[in-house]
Chains A and B, each alone.
Chain A
Amino acid sequence: MIFSELYSAYYNTVAAIISKIIDGENSEKELQKVVSKYAFSESVLTIMPSLKNGKWQVVTPNMITNLEHKPTMPMTKLQKQWLKAISLDPRIKLFDVKFEGLDDVEPLFTPDDYYIYDKYSDGDPFEDEGYIQRFRVILEAIKKRTQIKFELINRQGKTVFARCYPSRLEYSEKDDKFRMITSGWRSVSTVNLAKICSCAHYTGEKALDNVEREARQDTIILKVLDERNALERVMLHFAHFEKQVEKLDKKHYLLKINYLTDDEPEMVIRVLSFGPLVEVIGSENFKELVINKLKKQKNCELF
């Protein structure tokens, strides 16, 4: 069962508090910090008072515990089943890990139990040895905050050599691709991992700044006509953006979406996919892009 107090923020917080006390920390101020770190914003009103007033008898009112060991919990059957399930995913090869103790465990699901039907078919080669090696170099550099040097083929088909701090790996489920987000490389801040032909840790002494470039954002304003269940479809489709919606009348809604300017071409076709049920109100620049597409279409004299 997923919804269980065993996984709750409260149990985790109390476990952390007991561990602190066993380590000799019993100042209430310090223990409140544990609550702020592990629990919710209003949990301070409940957790420490419940421990202090003897409601939860694992810590005495003077912050002493009769427990002898720092609390730990073995993996539940559900957790083991989930781990077993992901051990069957081809992408697991990217990580240099072994799953021990799961031989007799049935997976929570298998790749046959679900189907991602709209994922693009040219995803990254997750099982390619070279790709895996490059992935691991980058992953290690991100964690150690060190530089890498790499070689990639750019859009013009030319080989480019570069050096950067990889700051994170961004994965798109739709594209089924990883992108390396870089710092310290002025020309480009995002590199498709599959485009990198070789990479290694940089051990030289040349310095780089280690600040990720701030991506430029824009806003579009859309007017949604709620016919053919358009409102729900639009809101779900754009759910992953920062957005705000306002009801104009019984059938019309105004939707503001913030997006990264680099993604503008993709945003244009995503808006077009809704046909006449979504009208671009702003920005003028974005509206112009949509109009240009429609003008070109009209010139195709389809009907």
Chain B
Amino acid sequence: MSSYSELIKNFEKIRAYMREFYVYGFKSRDEYSTKSARSYDDERRRIESWLGNHMSFIRTLEGKNVFISIDSRRIYHNPFYNAWKAKSFTDGDITLHFILLDILYIPSVKYTISEIMQLIDEKYLSGFSAPMMFDESTVRKKLKEYCEIGIVEIEKIGRKAYYHRAETVDISNLTDVSHYFSEVAPCGVVGSFILDKLETDSNVFTFKHHYITSAIDSGVLASLFTAMREKRIITVDNLSRRKDVPRKNRIIPLRVFISVQNGRQHLFAYHSEFNCFISYRIDYLSNVRLEETTPRFDELRSQLDRMQTKMWGVSANRSKWNDEKTEHVEFVVGIADDEYYIINRLNREKRVGIVEKIDEHNYKFSADVYDVGEMVPWIRTFICRIKEIKFSNRELERKFKEDLDAMYKMYGVDRGEDI
């Protein structure tokens, strides 16, 4: 039986636990039935070690519930990034890392593999009573890995190959930049890695409406960006919330859609087998495999650009025969003399559609989109002043009315009462 370590080899398992603890956090240990109790205890202990005070516990009749509770407005740095800094390694990995970078300490210093081997044995390890033994293929493999990562370069001089440290980028003045963008840019964890290398920390910025949970999807996101940059098809596992077994999808990734009002990230992609555009929740995607390049990428992305003018959120409605259906919605809001800020709200919050003045106190919003259902939560934020509303989708209109009635009943609101 292997002993516990706070470091992990595979990120995927911990990703699921972190989401459970952070987003939900009402499950007791026994309710994590798909995993063993030991696995649960280990993962909980690891997350507790990484996140410290952000972990909380509550005792219920079902047992002890663990949850992560963070007011992201009060923190300077996303604590979930710590999980990305917990990769396990071997004793040889860490020993070689520091020795190799000490040998290749500036870009102008160049050594062949045999010179490096000699230095390792004679200079760095000779002082230990039981020195580690590295064979040449291990060191060569490590240097090859570092060449791929970009911290070491190989150069042929004559018939010999020389290794040297890669040139770096001066980051000494990037503290504030790295801090700000590590929290607001995609794959911000990379900015956090840069901050770790800087001597000064930044506590200049804090963030409101800050969704930090997408940090745990950074690995998938980076692979998707690579695929888009190289215009590649990908195969990816998609775990639907309705099924326990992930489904493999072979798709062309086109664009990442990010929400700053619920923190969700979707991949909008083209599924050639069904000739359709589909959005996938990125937190349900895993195991992204990059495949061959596709000549269709630019054409499909142009189609998406056009489609975005009819999308409120992440839904598109296009059949495999390329028929597109849109739905119409319009509603009128009433404002008092001192309530023009409501019209400002309509204008700044609408993503598509138009706002028209009917008269001094009434304004109409109208739009044609693929899926009006996505707009309903926003329309509800104008409750108290919606004077007219029309949906071309009659079923949706009926549901909107039914929901409003249910809200009146829920709070005992009587018709015509003076306020």
A residues neighboring B (CB under 8 Å): 1-12, 14-15, 18, 40-43, 46, 50, 54-58, 60, 64, 66-69, 71-80, 82-83, 85-86, 89, 91-92, 95, 97, 99-102, 106-110, 112-122, 139, 142-143, 168-175, 179, 181, 229, 231-233, 235-237, 239-247, 253, 258, 260, 269-270, 272-276, 279, 287, 290-300, 302-303
Minimum distance in angstroms from B170 CB to a CB of chain A: 6
- Partner among A83, A117, A279 whose Cβ is within 8 Å of the Cβ of B351: A117
Whether, in the assembled complex, B245 has its beta carbon less than 8 Å from a beta carbon of chain A, the answer is no
The 9 A-B pairs at the shortest CB distance, nearest first, are namely: A77-B150, A276-B406, A74-B168, A82-B190, A5-B89, A273-B377, A293-B384, A296-B384, A269-B381
Minimum distance in angstroms from A133 CB to a CB of chain B: 16
- CA gap between A112 and B121 in the complex, in Å: 50
Given known contacts A55-B91, A76-B149, A172-B209, A275 and B406 CB-to-CB distance under 8 angstroms: yes
Given known contacts A115-B308, A235-B24, A8 and B89 CB-to-CB distance under 8 angstroms: yes
**B349 (CB) vs chain A CBs: closest residue:** A120
Whether, in the assembled complex, B391 has its beta carbon less than 8 Å from a beta carbon of chain A, the answer is no
- CA gap between A239 and B54 in the complex, in Å: 13
Binds A, one of B110-118, B255-263, B320-328: B255-263
**B388 (CB) vs chain A CBs: closest residue:** A302
Whether, in the assembled complex, B411 has its beta carbon less than 8 Å from a beta carbon of chain A, the answer is yes
- CA gap between A220 and B407 in the complex, in Å: 18
Given known contacts A78-B190, A101-B167, A294-B383, A233 and B334 CB-to-CB distance under 8 angstroms: no
Whether, in the assembled complex, B207 has its beta carbon less than 8 Å from a beta carbon of chain A, the answer is yes
Q: Residues of A contacting B258 with CB < 8 Å? A: 114-117
11 A-B residue pairings within 8 Å (CB atoms) = A2-B187, A6-B151, A11-B97, A54-B130, A57-B95, A143-B204, A168-B204, A236-B264, A240-B73, A275-B404, A303-B401
Binary A-proximity of B325-348 (CB < 8 A = 1, otherwise 0): 000000000100000000010011
- Partner among A86, A117, A122, A173 whose Cβ is within 8 Å of the Cβ of B348: A122
B residues neighboring A (CB under 8 Å): 5-7, 11, 22-26, 45, 48-50, 52, 56, 58, 60, 62, 67, 69-73, 82, 84-89, 91, 93-95, 97-99, 101-102, 105, 123-125, 127-132, 148-151, 165-171, 173-174, 176-177, 180-181, 183-187, 189-191, 193-194, 196-197, 203-213, 218-219, 222, 225-226, 228-229, 241, 255-264, 301, 308, 311, 313-314, 334, 344, 347-351, 376-378, 380-381, 383-389, 401, 403-404, 406-408, 410-411, 413-417, 419
Q: Residues of B contacting A82 with CB < 8 Å? A: 185, 187, 190-191, 194
Q: Residues of B contacting A110 with CB < 8 Å? A: 229
Q: Residues of A contacting B181 with CB < 8 Å? A: 86, 89
- CA gap between A258 and B71 in the complex, in Å: 8
- CA gap between A270 and B189 in the complex, in Å: 29
**A102 (CB) vs chain B CBs: closest residue:** B169
**A82 (CB) vs chain B CBs: closest residue:** B190
The main secondary structure of chain A at its interface with chain B is: mixed
Minimum distance in angstroms from A95 CB to a CB of chain B: 5
- CA gap between A240 and B57 in the complex, in Å: 18
Minimum distance in angstroms from A292 CB to a CB of chain B: 6
- CA gap between A10 and B70 in the complex, in Å: 25
Given known contacts A41-B49, A169-B204, A89 and B99 CB-to-CB distance under 8 angstroms: no
Q: Residues of A contacting B348 with CB < 8 Å? A: 120-122
B99 engages A58 (CB within 8 Å): yes
Minimum distance in angstroms from A270 CB to a CB of chain B: 8
- Partner among A4, A76, A237, A297 whose Cβ is within 8 Å of the Cβ of B383: A297
A117 engages B259 (CB within 8 Å): yes
Given known contacts A7-B196, A50-B91, A79-B190, A113 and B229 CB-to-CB distance under 8 angstroms: yes
Q: Residues of B contacting A85 with CB < 8 Å? A: 185-187
**A60 (CB) vs chain B CBs: closest residue:** B127
Given known contacts A113-B228, A240-B212, A253-B26, A78 and B222 CB-to-CB distance under 8 angstroms: yes
B125 engages A95 (CB within 8 Å): no
Given known contacts A89-B185, A245-B26, A121 and B347 CB-to-CB distance under 8 angstroms: yes
Given known contacts A86-B191, A173-B207, A295 and B173 CB-to-CB distance under 8 angstroms: no
Q: Residues of A contacting B11 with CB < 8 Å? A: 3
Q: Residues of A contacting B148 with CB < 8 Å? A: 77
B69 engages A243 (CB within 8 Å): yes
A245 engages B25 (CB within 8 Å): yes
A54 engages B404 (CB within 8 Å): no
B213 engages A239 (CB within 8 Å): yes
Q: Residues of A contacting B259 with CB < 8 Å? A: 116-118
Q: Residues of A contacting B262 with CB < 8 Å? A: 233, 236-237, 239
- CA gap between A168 and B208 in the complex, in Å: 12
A2 engages B219 (CB within 8 Å): yes
B26 engages A108 (CB within 8 Å): no
**B85 (CB) vs chain A CBs: closest residue:** A9
Q: Residues of A contacting B207 with CB < 8 Å? A: 170-173
**A237 (CB) vs chain B CBs: closest residue:** B262
A83 engages B169 (CB within 8 Å): yes
- CA gap between A241 and B67 in the complex, in Å: 13
**A54 (CB) vs chain B CBs: closest residue:** B128
Q: Residues of B contacting A66 with CB < 8 Å? A: 123-125, 127
